[in-house]
A and B are shown apart, each in its own frame.
Chain A
């Protein structure tokens, strides 16, 4: 009798739980799409005006990245296991140089964002505990559209962008292979990477002036 009662309870509860779970996941995916819409709108509005001074664009871009990107995790993933080998001073120097490097490398992508270019957000799906929001970067003057897949993680303060894949190419995987190659070729020494980063930043500044 007691067993029969439990089975009956489960028979009722299980579909309810399943429906609730599916509904919760759908809500989360919908929230992720809304979050990304907000990020893109804010990014386009704040960072793409052609009249923006270079220094101001860099300052805004850095603030934008810290606000919406999964910053500490991404910064560590770029140098992978070498993060654990770095001293506190080396980590501080690396993070400062990385900020400067990223801003100098990507500011032109925002500066050159086309007047009629727009990001069309499509579906979202959960993959490996993360949420991937698919979108198309459509520029009528530069067809065909590029696929941009945004990988989001959920943290205590809501969603954060942890990677972006353009036509299947991951930004973080590419940076990671680039940076870790320098580390391997310098015998795993963080100072070797820092020297190369300083030289690259100086070069990027020179080419922009």
Chain B
């Protein structure tokens, strides 16, 4: 059975941040002007549903979702399909490992900000080992049985959540997709503070050329890698759902909640945010009617 949402720690919420934010603001503004907020229903039961769904911007979100779908079907998905068709699996794995390795400094920063010192040590160890023995991150040597330091993802949205900041209502971001105000702030923080991009954009190796092209290249490759890994998953959700927008909203929220709270058993081989016993966070069990 295929994992419906996750591939090697990458999720719908982990699309790249760099470079795209500047493009997104005017798009988002235009979409907001064209659409609007949903009117809260007057019927008490409908109102209860409306509050539980927490998507007051649904008309705007659906508009942006439609834009994203058009862009994806016309441009991004075909490129991802071509990439998967042309580049052999081992090559794609090597590229995936490199872009993952470049995320480690940002993951390290968030591990520290969350007070997860053990995990921060693992992340630092991974970055050092994979950047050297792993030849610039091409091979995930740290994740092998020899070092036993499996990859875990982390980001500023999770840090804000751990600091007790609520997610706010559901939000669909242009290009980036399902999100919420807290995670959007997290994306913004990463845009300005990601250590690798800061280094590249401020370092002028030969005093004539900056390395902004490297930032954009990294963004593009990371986006391509993520979209390629999600090809089958998203195709399947789109094919089987009655309302793709709602299905994706539900799945992305549940995944995000799991990313924030789930603690994987040590040595389970499961990619997750945490490394504590499973019972520390039990799965959410529906206790009655789902709505």
Residues on A lying within 8 angstroms of B by beta carbon are 76-78, 80-81, 105, 108-109, 112-113, 117, 122-123, 125, 127-130, 132, 134, 136-137, 142-149, 151, 162-163, 165-170, 172-174, 176-182, 184-185, 188, 193, 196-197, 200, 204, 207
**Which residue of B8, B279, B285 is within 8 Å of A128 (Cβ)?**
B285
For B246, the chain A residues whose CB sits under 8 A away are: 177-178, 181-182
Question: B286 near A163 (CB under 8 angstroms)?
Answer: yes
If A78-B290, A132-B283, A172-B286 are given as contacts, then 17 extra A-B residue pairs at C-beta distance below 8 Å, sorted by A number, are A128-B287, A136-B268, A143-B8, A144-B271, A162-B286, A167-B6, A169-B5, A169-B258, A170-B283, A170-B286, A177-B53, A180-B291, A181-B245, A182-B242, A185-B243, A200-B240, A207-B239
Query: Could you tell me the distance between the alpha carbons of A108 and B247 in the complex, rounded to whole angstroms?
Result: 19
Count A/B pairs, Cβ under 8 Å. Answer: 146
**Chain A residues closer than 8 Å to B49, beta-carbon distance:** 180, 184
Q: B220-269: which residues lie under 8 A (CB-CB) from chain A?
A: 236, 239-243, 245-247, 249-251, 254-255, 257-259, 262, 264-265, 268-269
The answer to whether residues A144 and B290 also contact, given A81-B45, A123-B278 and a CB cut-off of 8 A, is no
Contacts of A172 in B (CB 8 A): 286, 290
> A173's closest neighbor in chain B, by CB?
B290
A181 pairs with B285, CB closer than 8 A: no
Give me 5 A-to-B residue pairs in the complex whose CB atoms sit less than 8 angstroms apart, sorted by A's number.
Answer: A80-B289, A143-B8, A146-B1, A168-B259, A185-B243
The reply to whether A167 and B258 form a contact with Cβ atoms under 8 Å apart is yes
- Which partner residue on chain B sits nearest A105 by CB separation? B240
Q: Does B26 contact A (CB under 8 A)?
A: no
Instruction: State how many angstroms separate the Cβ of B62 from the closest Cβ of chain A.
Output: 10
Q: How near does chain B come to A65, taking the closest CB pair, in angstroms?
A: 15
B51 CB-CB contact with A under 8 Å: no
B1 touches A130 (CB 8 A): no
A196 partner, pick from B242, B249, B257, B271, beta carbons under 8 A: B242
Q: Are B255 and A168 in contact (CB under 8 A)?
A: yes
Nearest Cβ distance between residue B150 and chain A, in whole angstroms? 8
The complex places the Cα of A130 from the Cα of B289 at a distance, in Å, of 14
Chain A binding site: helix, strand, loop or mixed by DSSP?
Answer: mixed
Q: How large is the interface on B (under 10, 10 to 19, 20 to 34, 35 or more residues)?
A: 35 or more
- Interface membership of B33, Cβ < 8 A: no
Do A170 and B254 touch (CB < 8 A)?
Answer: yes
Do B285 and A130 touch (CB < 8 A)? yes
The reply to whether B1 and A168 form a contact with Cβ atoms under 8 Å apart is: no
**A125 and B239 within 8 A (CB):** no
Most buried by A among B2, B53, B150: B2
Q: By the criterion CB–CB under 8 Å, are A80 and B285 in contact? A: no
In the bound complex, residues from chain B placing their C-beta under 8 Å from that of A176 are: 290-291
Q: Are the C-beta atoms of B4 and A132 separated by less than 8 Å?
A: no
Report yes or no: B285 in contact with A169, Cβ–Cβ below 8 A. no
User: CA–CA, A180 to B246, complex, Å?
Assistant: 9
**Closest partner residue, chain B, to A113 (CB atom):** B1
Most buried by B among A105, A112, A178: A178
In the complex, how many angstroms separate the beta carbon of B281 from the nearest chain A beta carbon? 9
Chain B residues within an 8 Å CB radius of A193 = 242
> For the complex, what is the distance from the CA of A137 to the CA of B269, rounded to whole Å?
11
Known: A145-B269, A170-B254, A176-B291. A165 touches B283 (CB 8 A): yes
A144 touches B251 (CB 8 A): no
Asked if residues B240 and A204 are in contact (CB atoms below 8 Å), the reply is yes
Contact yes or no, B291 A80, CB < 8 A: yes
In the complex, residue of chain B having the shortest beta-carbon distance to the beta carbon of A112: B2
Contact partner of B254 (CB less than 8 A), chosen from A148, A174, A180, A181, is: A174
Bound Cα distance from A176 to B52, whole angstroms: 13
Q: A117-B1, A146-B3, A182-B243 are in contact. Are A127 and B290 (CB under 8 A)?
A: no
Query: Chain A residues near B4 (CB, 8 Å)?
Result: 166-167, 169
- The residue of chain A having its C-beta at the shortest distance from the C-beta of B271 within the complex is A144
Expressed in whole angstroms, the Cα–Cα distance for A100 and B108 within the complex equals 48
| Contact of B282 with A by CB under 8 A | yes
Q: Is B76 engaged at the interface, CB distance under 8 Å to the other chain?
A: no
B43: nearest chain-A partner, CB-CB: A188
Q: Which residues of A contact B241 (CB under 8 A)?
A: 178
Contact of B255 among A143, A162, A167, A197 (CB under 8 A): A167
Contact across chains for B283 and A178 when beta carbons are under 8 A apart: no
A80 and B49 CA atoms in complex are apart in Å by 11
Q: Is B116 an interface residue (CB 8 A)?
A: no
Contact A109 B250 (CB under 8 A): no
**Contact pick for B282, options A132, A197, A200, CB 8 Å:** A132
C-alpha gap A123/B280 in the complex (Å): 13
